[in-house]
Structure 1
């Protein structure tokens, strides 16, 4: 009887038809959203739509149509690389379309790194103060963020002064540990004023020469007093806010020694970041990068994942939209990405 009533009532038939159309539309929409548009062969027009959406999300503009066309080709290549890497299903990390998705690996390395490893100068403090430290069960996981010794993620922009950000983050951590106060310190002061030795502003440098400048200068000022401008300028005379007595190197290629240091304070470290630009989350493993260190970050902790993989917790300075909110987890204990080759820390 019910089926007869439905079949003979045009209003009911119309309502059922509309319900079917709405349901199908929602289903199609869901499938399109769920489908990875990076799948090879998805289509040129769909990829252009995705590129436009990505441009809007990241505020990206181009000088002309020729530049846009060239960047679109790079974008497509990166999308394909991301898809193939993630689809393999054999990695502990995933890649994603971050703000660097329309530049090549080589362009990225040239624009966003800047560490130039050299031997330490003659003025560093002798020895390694954590030489006799044995990590206990209580030291199997360290995260200096939880102890209030890490300032927020910063952004070096297209200036190769990662060395300045790494040195500052290490000093910020040490100052909080020794004084109980967290202060954001000035990378710009190092960029403008630490020009002796191997530091060349946006063209690269080393943390140890930055530490030595701070020793010789009698300290470093705050970010507020000397804000970052993303380019080298004239050195300004400012009142120091934080001082250090010197710095020490961590024994090279000894991750146990590095862990002993990181258990006691954030440490400046060099890494090979050539393959970091599309990193999104997870533990970057040794097979995902090289060992020719070209970038400086700050080791602010370490831990162990649920599957037993040990990792370093690294603070970067490419903004919060890169990686895990600006941070990276890097495989520990296997020399991944050259970590441990050149590391150092300030001494109060």
Structure 2
């Protein structure tokens, strides 16, 4: 193919040069426009996140010492919000149908390390300690108990409480179990004092807001003559001097027993008769930010068997899809999960229970 003749006219050469220049300018303008649009979009996202943060602060009554602390907490909030949004987007089913989701709840401005330090300070109990205490429901079978039970409906559960930033979940778990058996025996529901346990149950394993065990709390209640009421000995979210002297006990127990470890059937037999204290792994972000009335674990939520948190099993059942669950009362306030309660998938592991919830369970005997 023959090449075009050279451009000899000065005017044509100028026009040709101008055309090339215009093409280059057009490409550069397009590039900078796209770059500016990306910057604008990023700024828009950051603005939307800040608006979301301000709304979250207002909803939760959050204030900070100064602007520097607020700025630092915003970065933590943004990181947690990105995790929550990404998790929920990935959990959406075909056609965008929603599955169990996470929410920017009151923990959204805490780092993972801060959350674990404030809320998950339970000491694991050596497995050998659970041997030899007896199990009063051991001669029963599944045919002897109802297919589902919710101790709230039977009046044996006080409203959800909030341990705040004191790592004494062990005290709330033990108190909820004692409140339950007290109501079952006396037909009187009384809100009992967690602060009494925080201040007074101070053996080798129980250290106020730092760590503790439900079984040692039960031992204290047995030997001290019982627990007084929440009203008489109010919660302060910090350990203080024991002030139980002169306060009348409103609920007493004779002893406590362990549920055979790694046995969800045995745990169900116990929960069928009374609320039960259990330990589990509460450290996953999926658990920390879990929201709604869905079943934790049914949507693929993951956890370990590191027993770092204490809660109370107050029931069990099966949903309309046939998924079995445990009904759990937590101590993170009514703003967490389903008004402070959560359903956790049942019979999905062979030995430990999901999140290890069948590994270390115990209950008071009244």
TM-score normalised by structure 1 residue count: 0.85
Q: Measure the CA separation in 1 of the matches of 2:339 and 2:327.
A: 12
Equivalent position to 2:47, from 40, 45, 53: 45
**Aligned mates of 1:40, 1:144 — CA distance in 2:** 50
CA-CA distance at 1:121 after TM superposition: 9.3
Report how far residue 123 of structure 1 moved: 11
- Equivalent of residue 296 in structure 2, options 284, 289, 294: 284
The 1:211/1:125 distance shift into structure 2, 3 A limit, reads: farther
Matched, 1:242 2:217: no
Match of 2:269 in 1: 260
In 1: Cα distance, 2:323 partner to 2:136 partner: 28
Relative to structure 1, the CA distance from residue 42 to residue 279 in structure 2 (aligned partners, 3 Å threshold; closer, same or farther) is farther
Q: Secondary structure at the match of 2:172?
A: helix
Structure 1: distance between partners of 2:288 and 2:209: 19
Q: What is the rounded CA distance, in whole Å, between the counterparts of 2:42 and 2:171 in structure 1?
A: 41
Alignment partner of 2:83: what SS?
helix
The 2-side partners of 1:230 and 1:300 are apart by 24
Deviation of 1:122 (Å): 7.4
Report Cα offsets for 1:256-294 as digits up to 9, x if no partner.
Answer: 110010000000000100022211121111742221010
Q: Which residue of 2 aligns with 1:118?
A: 125
Q: How has the CA–CA distance of structure 1 residues 127 and 204 changed in structure 2, closer, same or farther, with 3 Å as cutoff? A: same
Given that 2:318 and 2:324 are in contact with CA atoms closer than 8 Å, whether structure 1 keeps it comes out as yes
| Aligned residue in 2 for 1:327 | 341
CA deviations on 1:145-192 (whole Å, 9 max, x unpaired) are 000000001010000110000000000000011111101001011000
8 Å contact kept, 1:124–1:246:
no
1:134 positional shift: 1.2
Q: Is structure 2 residue 225 aligned with structure 1 residue 218?
A: yes
| Structure 2 CA distance for aligned equivalents of residues 111 and 126 of structure 1 | 32
Tell me, in whole angstroms, the C-alpha distance in 2 between the residues paired with 1:229 and 1:125: 36
State whether structure 2 residue 364 is matched by structure 1 residue 346: yes
Matches of 1:138 and 1:212, distance apart in 2: 28
User: In the aligned structure 2, how far is the partner of 1:263 from the partner of 1:310?
Assistant: 15
Deviation at 1:92, TM superposition (A): 5.1
Q: Which has the larger radius of gyration?
A: 2
Matched, 1:67 2:69: yes
Give the alignment of 1:81-230 within 5 angstroms: 81-88=83-90, 89=92, 93-119=100-126, 126-136=133-143, 139-230=146-237
> Paired residue for 1:314?
328
CA contact (8 A) 2:145 2:272 kept: no
SS of 2:101 mapped into structure 1: strand
Instruction: Quickly say closer, same or farther: Cα 1:166–1:121, change in 2 above 3 A.
Output: farther
Structure 2 match to 1:271: 280
Q: CA deviation at 1:303?
A: 1.1
| 1:336 maps to 2:347 | no
Instruction: Give, in whole Å, the separation in 2 of the partners of 1:108 and 1:307.
Output: 33
Aligned to 1:293: 307
Structure 1 gap segments, 5+ residues each: 1-38
CA distance in 1, matches of 2:48, 2:190: 47
CA-atom RMSD, angstroms?
A: 2.1
In 2, Cα distance between equivalents of 1:319 and 1:65 = 28
Give the Cα separation in 1 of the matches to 2:242 and 2:359.
31
Q: Deviations over 1:46-73 (max 9, x none)?
A: 1111101110110111112221111111
What is the count of residue pairs matched by the alignment? 310
Which stretch of the first structure deviates more once superposed, 163-172 or 70-79? 70-79
